[in-house]
Chains A and B, each alone.
Chain A
């Protein structure tokens, strides 16, 4: 039996059917934004007032409006990371009112819309905080640590041209679906930002799980998990104490189950090697 899909009442969005016709709500807000010139600067919060923000704007469009104003006033705009603005590239990364990617569940910063706030709100915006993610400028942090973890084992060693026909390798649909759910990770780092220990377990376990679930991942299964965990530890991420914030904040709702799977993979691998 299929149960009622939770998504039909899509996440925790307000169920107001506004229709395209109604007028937009306009609001005035106070922003507390972390400003830091560069990696060596101490940095601090600066307060800005922004007015006439439409609820149809995305959170980043609200920042665009503010930046346009700062430029016109001869000030330096606020640096923040973003690219696709569709919730898929994983580049945007703001810690909004204490929450990685803000208050909406399963949503990246760029997909967060101003409907989530109300007139007169004060919003505090900070960069991801973790020693493995040093601040580059303002809200921009360095996440190359994730690339290093990937390089340590997040792949199947198959050179171009080595592949057999794709359908020679049937994969049970359930495994394929689970592998896909794990592979949906966008590498944004919100899990690290949200975790009280700055642990990267959710990110790493999502990759490990994807390959552990697929037949293609089997030959390197043991080495992969050992190497990726080793690299993760070396980069200065914290240890998971199973608090679960990462899953709650992950924009792709990657499941904690993956962390359990990675622990299992790691323990089994240790027994073998």
Chain B
């Protein structure tokens, strides 16, 4: 097994599996965020979040999730380092831009930005809600939904979110196909299909998640109460 994990193909498989798991998480995450727009004052969103925290399976998945992020990032760092070492002297003229896409060459960069985003994001919601218990637990605290709205009324955060989501969309537009290639689940026939799905996923997550900061900030500009806004 260690032989597998240290081999080039094995490392890529780990990268792919962790990446695909993260995609699955995002599907779930997008889904659980949807109640925010119900205009019910955030009740359903808060309740779902609350009940999920107490489900064993969710706790386990969460551990796996953090593990996946860790593994994905660690592996990304190792790969990037090894790949740099494989060409100690570079070319004076680099023609790779003519033969490959920008995103495929910059997964490390886009990944790092996403990583930065995730840290900020956890600091904003996960830490107060789950660790310091300063959100969503007692009277007088903001509910989780309210904390989300509060955060996203800040233009700086909105900007960070939008940029990060574009980057995430890019990362996935290549990452999704790449994962299938790395796992050997690609061939000439599948390639166009995978291309389509990858673009679809990128758009879904890009637009889906971006909707939240946009709507919340938009509501603020229009002086509406987002959580009670019936669109």
Within the complex, what minimum Cβ distance (angstroms) separates B156 from chain A? 33
Cβ contact of B100, chosen from A196, A230, A267, cutoff 8 A: A196
A240 & B183 in contact (Cβ 8 Å cutoff):
no
Q: Which residue of A lies closest to B75 (CB)?
A: A239
Q: Confirm or deny: B85 has a beta carbon within 8 angstroms of a beta carbon on chain A.
A: yes
A95/B91 contact (C-beta < 8 A), A260-B185, A261-B184 known? yes
Identify which of A74-82, A85-93, A244-252 touches chain B: A244-252
Chain A residues near B91: list those with CB within 8 A: 95, 98, 126, 129
Query: Would you list 22 pairs from A and B whose C-beta atoms are within 8 A, ordered by A residue?
Result: A45-B92, A95-B91, A130-B86, A131-B85, A131-B87, A131-B88, A197-B83, A230-B3, A233-B6, A238-B83, A239-B79, A240-B182, A241-B79, A241-B107, A242-B104, A257-B191, A260-B187, A261-B187, A263-B182, A263-B183, A266-B7, A267-B9
Cβ contact of A236, chosen from B86, B92, B99, B182, cutoff 8 A: B86
A243 & B13 in contact (Cβ 8 Å cutoff):
no
A243/B93 contact (C-beta < 8 A), A197-B86, A270-B10 known? no
Please report the C-alpha to C-alpha distance between residue A262 and residue B178 in the assembled complex, in whole angstroms. Answer: 14
Q: Confirm or deny: B54 has a beta carbon within 8 angstroms of a beta carbon on chain A.
A: no
Q: Considering the complex, which residues of chain A in the window 205-223 have a beta carbon less than 8 Å from any beta carbon of chain B?
A: none
Chain B residues near A100: list those with CB within 8 A: 95
Chain A residues near B183: list those with CB within 8 A: 263-264, 267
A266 & B184 in contact (Cβ 8 Å cutoff):
yes
Number of A-B contacts (CB under 8 A): 144
Cβ contact of A264, chosen from B7, B107, B184, cutoff 8 A: B184
Please report the C-alpha to C-alpha distance between residue A218 and residue B76 in the assembled complex, in whole angstroms. Answer: 34
Q: Give how many A residues have a beta carbon under 8 Å from the other chain's beta carbons.
A: 48
A241 & B184 in contact (Cβ 8 Å cutoff):
no
Chain B residues near A263: list those with CB within 8 A: 9, 12-13, 181-184
Q: Confirm or deny: B186 has a beta carbon within 8 angstroms of a beta carbon on chain A.
A: yes
Contact with A along B74-118 (1 / 0, CB 8 A): 000001001101111111111110111100110100000000000
B95 & A99 in contact (Cβ 8 Å cutoff):
yes
Q: Give how many B residues have a beta carbon under 8 Å from the other chain's beta carbons.
A: 45
Q: A262-B9, A264-B183, A264-B185 are in contact. List 17 more A-B contacts (CB 8 A).
A: A98-B91, A98-B98, A126-B92, A131-B86, A194-B99, A232-B8, A236-B86, A238-B82, A238-B86, A238-B87, A239-B8, A241-B83, A241-B178, A242-B104, A257-B188, A263-B183, A266-B9
Chain B residues near A270: list those with CB within 8 A: 4, 10
Contact with B along A121-165 (1 / 0, CB 8 A): 000101001111000000000000000000000000000000000
Q: Confirm or deny: B177 has a beta carbon within 8 angstroms of a beta carbon on chain A.
A: yes
Q: Which residue of A lies closest to B88 (CB)?
A: A131
A residues apposed to B, CB below 8 Å: 32, 45, 95, 97-100, 124, 126, 129-132, 194, 196-199, 201, 229-230, 232-233, 236-245, 248-249, 255-257, 259-267, 270
Q: Confirm or deny: B220 has a beta carbon within 8 angstroms of a beta carbon on chain A.
A: no
Chain B residues near A132: list those with CB within 8 A: 86
Cβ contact of A245, chosen from B13, B96, B180, cutoff 8 A: B96
Please report the C-alpha to C-alpha distance between residue A99 and residue B13 in the assembled complex, in whole angstroms. Answer: 29
Chain B residues near A261: list those with CB within 8 A: 184, 187
Q: Which residue of A lies closest to B95 (CB)?
A: A98
Please report the C-alpha to C-alpha distance between residue A248 and residue B100 in the assembled complex, in whole angstroms. Answer: 8
Within the complex, what minimum Cβ distance (angstroms) separates B8 from chain A? 4
